[in-house]
Amino acid sequence: MTIEEKLKEQISENNILIYMKGTPYEPRCGFSAKTVQILIDCEAEFSYVDVLANEEVRAVLPSISDWPTFPQVFVDGELIGGADIVSEMHESGELKKLLNS
């Protein structure tokens, strides 16, 4: 299985998936920390992948998602965005609706 196939499988198999720097318990960048906290605030059950622990994921995912930075949040197989977009969706209430649908 190629790294591209593995990433696509991860994205399709997890309802909510965040590719982040670090872990939810020990985020290693402010944007990842903020995004994880928003997901927790929404009481979302989510999976994560630490892109710092796997250079191949960090290098290849942006070409699959067409998104250059981390974190990247996927809901039901679709990229919803990074920290800024997730934050805006949270403030408007749109994120909680999406996560609970």
Domain span at residue 49 reads 3-99
Per-residue pLDDT, averaged over 84-88, amounts to 97
Asked whether the beta carbons of 3 and 39 are under 8 A apart, the reply is no
User: Is pLDDT of 101 > 90?
Assistant: no
Give the pLDDT band (50/70/90) at residue 15.
very high
Give the pLDDT band (50/70/90) at residue 55.
very high
Q: Which residues pair with 18 in a beta bridge?
A: 48, 73
Please report, for the domain that includes residue 92, its CATH number.
Answer: 3.40.30.10
Total count of domains within the chain? 1
Asked whether the beta carbons of 10 and 67 are under 8 A apart, the reply is no
Tokens of 56: 């191949």
Q: What percent of the chain has pLDDT over 90?
A: 98
What confidence tens digit (pLDDT) does each residue in 18-32 have? Answer: 999 999 999 999 999
Mean pLDDT of the chain: 96
